[in-house]
Amino acid sequence: MLDKTVPYFNVIMRRSAGLVIPRFILPRGFSLSWFVEGDEARWADIETSVGEFDDVPAALKYFQERYVPYLDELKRRLLLVRAANGDWVGTISAWWNYTGAQRDASIHWLAVRPAYQGLGLGKVLVSECLYTLLRLEGDVEVFLHTQTWSHRAIGIYFKAGFEIVQRETFGEYQNDYDQAMPVLRRIIPTEWWPPRRDKG
């Protein structure tokens, strides 16, 4: 779930090319599957469950406008997690953004239903997403946009080799580094943080 008890600020993270991708195993009873037509309703339901959208129709509208025009890409870039009981419980997309003429590999829309958080599903999704980007985009830098409300996910991104950047951004995202860092330093456990280095 998004933690809306803290102030909202945009956070930009980057993973350098050439890093080893950590591999995590799904817990027993869970399985991964690629997007097929009709899964947009499942995606919308998962994203709404974590508070990214106010309701499923709003999530569906966004998905149809932003992603459905790239249907063939969805089938090889959007992953879903299914539980043994048939519930669809998590998702992530190995996508891209354009920064001017430059195409940047990026992670979009990591989400795990609240009832299934804490099981390691998010780590598996990020790992599989990075392997997908490596296969489709090559060994390149990978970006993501997140926010202070997603501070729990930031810990997952740290484990996958991402670092928060100070000034750089990608696509059309805003970078609120100066405002976000005091919030994140207060609420993210010290042991989660990677060694401090100046990042662009």
* 3-state DSSP of 129-140: HHHHHHHHHCCC
Mean pLDDT of the chain: 95
Is the pLDDT score of 197 beyond 90? no
C-alpha to C-alpha distance for 2 and 81, rounded to whole angstroms:
19
Is the pLDDT score of 199 beyond 70? no
Is the pLDDT score of 189 beyond 60? yes
pLDDT tens string 93-126: 999 999 999 999 999 999 999 999 999 999 999 9
pLDDT of residue 64: 97
C-alpha to C-alpha distance for 33 and 97, rounded to whole angstroms:
23
Assign 194 a pLDDT band (cuts: 50, 70, 90): confident
Assign 200 a pLDDT band (cuts: 50, 70, 90): low
pLDDT tens string 129-174: 999 999 999 999 999 999 999 999 999 999 999 999 999 999 999 9
In b/e form, how buried is each residue of 94-112, taking b as 16+ CB within 10 angstroms?
bbbbeeeeeebbbbbbbbb
- Work out the average pLDDT over 5-28: 96
Q: How many C-beta neighbours within 10 Å does residue 200 have?
A: 10
pLDDT of residue 45: 98
pLDDT of residue 73: 97
Is the pLDDT score of 198 beyond 60? no
pLDDT of residue 1: 76
- Closest alpha carbon to 128 in 99, 156, 97, 88: 156
pTM for the whole thing? 0.94
pLDDT of residue 129: 98
Assign 195 a pLDDT band (cuts: 50, 70, 90): confident
pLDDT of residue 196: 67
